[in-house]
Amino acid sequence: MPDAPLPPLQLTDVQRSVSAELDRIAPVIDELGRRFRGAGHELHLVGGPVRDAMLGRQHNDLDFTTSARPEQTERLLKGWADAVWDIGRAFGTIGCRRGDWQVEITTYRSETYDPSSRKPDVDFGDTLAGDLGRRDFTVNAMAVSVPDRTFEDPFHGVVDLAHRVLRTPGRPEDSFSDDPLRMMRAARFAAQLGFSVDPAVVSAMTAMADRITIISAERVRDELVKLVCAPYPRLGLGLLVETGLAGHVLPELPALALERDEHHRHKDVYEHTLTVLEQSIELESRLPGGGPDFVSRFAALMHDVGKPRTRRFVGDGTVTFHHHDVVGAKITRKRMKALRFSNDQIDAVSGLVELHLRFHGYGTGEWTDSAVRRYVRDAGDQLERLHVLTRADCTTRNRRKAERLRRTYDDLEARIARLSEEEELASLRPDLDGNQIMAILEIPPGRVVGEAYQHLLELRMDRGPMSSEDAEAALREWWAARG
């Protein structure tokens, strides 16, 4: 994964890619273009589909802009589309589906933000040039008129695309004042496309970083997820930190850039974190679905956020971070709640952060089978992600030590596999269920049944499977000890 943007593109390659993609999507663009032109309206393929066509990326989700008003667009789509929806009508957008194609058609727009508002004021425009001029970056401000396939590029986006640079159509300060989320989008596109960001854009982002605070947490979260799941997240995250945006949306990240102690005896936690993120991405093939996996990546990004708060210097100059796993899990949970993540995502990521050091107690394999069972039980349905995070966290430059850690974790996974096959660890439960506990102890449902169940689960962890007779004897012994 690059620390720096990718090399420039050749314009001849761009032209070939566009031609091939337009031929592929011809069944949509040609038919729609003729329908709109026949009704006296302009229609243009625009934005991401045009940009990605130049990059050789195929899309079945197509965006268009048009001179037609939403009600006119809706009428033109009926009879052509398999389904039509108007959920975006307030913003001038009508959506539809035709076979495998998803289409969104938006009326030319002129859109600005009130300086203190989170929502745009939407006004319809009259020209393609005006519509393109209000878009975020020049590489997204190109259009192809249909059905005649005339290329429109008033802001020289194709040149910026060839040089892999993000630039705004007008002054970046005006663009970010209209929609501060575009600053996050700059970082996201850098991560998705491997592009650099124009110095003027970076300067405006730095000067206006606090404007991001007027944007809703949900919109910021969505951009952050796209950035983290992009092919080159280090580029985007680095830009967030450099411009100060991270200080507002993910302050735990720049906080990792700890000042080194005078003896230089601990790692640069920020750089270590980005390395762990990249190594976790390389291991995503181990996960169901193969990635990109947001939970795995975000856990890697947050795994050491407890270190700044737990850093201590001892007498010989050694640095310690005791309990940074537990502290980091709490910090992670709080940040994800602020960004309005789902409870399931919060539980998964914070749980992985809390468990990421557990393996280091394994030593050279001294854990008992009981300890291995507890490791699996505590990881629950995040076990495969915990394997990825733990392996990715081994970033030592000492090749012999790295190889030893890898072999040791191989051994732990082999033991987990063996015990799982023998004991069905994934569905680990006591040898007696709640109904059996109530029948044996002759007690009604209630808190005591749960306590008995938990006691038997702990015994199951320690001893492995028991016969029903041994489990009943253990239960009666526990009950007698309670008096």
Three-state SS at 278? helix
Closest CA to 335 of 299, 376, 381: 299
With tokens 């970076």, the residue in question is 202
Give the pLDDT of residue 233: 97
pLDDT digits 0-9 by tens, 282-303: 999 999 888 899 999 999 999 9
Q: Which two tokens stand for residue 214?
A: 């007027």
| Distances in whole angstroms, Cα of residue 282 to Cα of each of 276, 277, 279, 316, 401 | 10, 9, 5, 37, 20
Task: Give the CATH number of domain 1-158.
Answer: 3.30.460.10
Q: Are the CB atoms for 183 and 197 separated by under 8 Å?
A: no
Query: Span 221-249, mean pLDDT?
Result: 97
pLDDT digits 0-9 by tens, 104-131: 999 998 755 566 665 656 678 889 999 9
Q: Are the CB atoms for 417 and 428 separated by under 8 Å?
A: no
Task: Parse the chain into domains and list their residue ranges.
Answer: 1-158, 171-250, 254-427, 434-481
Cβ contacts of 454 within 8 Å, gap of 6 or more: none
Give the pLDDT of residue 259: 52
Q: Are the CB atoms for 58 and 66 separated by under 8 Å?
A: no
366 pLDDT tier (thresholds 50, 70, 90):
confident
| Pairing of β 83-85 and β 61-66 | unpaired
Closest CA to 189 of 155, 240, 120, 130: 240
Q: 6 pLDDT exceeds 50?
A: yes
Give the whole-angstrom CA distance, residue 125 versus residue 28.
Answer: 25
Q: What's this model's pTM, rounded to 2 decimal places?
A: 0.84
Q: Which two tokens stand for residue 198?
A: 């124009």
Q: 242 pLDDT exceeds 60?
A: yes
Three-state SS at 144? strand
Closest CA to 147 of 285, 252, 25: 25
Any idea which of 86-95, 269-278, 360-369, 409-418 has the lowest mean pLDDT?
360-369
Fold of 171-250: Hydrophobic Seed Protein (1.10.110)
Give the whole-angstrom CA distance, residue 338 versus residue 36.
Answer: 45
Q: Which two tokens stand for residue 190?
A: 């850098």
Q: 236 pLDDT exceeds 50?
A: yes
Q: 263 pLDDT exceeds 50?
A: no
Give the pLDDT of residue 193: 94
Give the whole-angstrom CA distance, residue 212 versus residue 277.
Answer: 25
Q: Which two tokens stand for residue 474?
A: 């253990």
Give the pLDDT of residue 121: 63
CATH for the 254-427 domain, from 1.20.1440, 1.10.10, 1.10.3210, 1.10.3720? 1.10.3210
pLDDT digits 0-9 by tens, 55-74: 988 889 999 999 999 999 99
Geometric angle at alpha carbon 286, from 352 and 340, rounded to 5°: 40
Q: Which two tokens stand for residue 221?
A: 């979260």
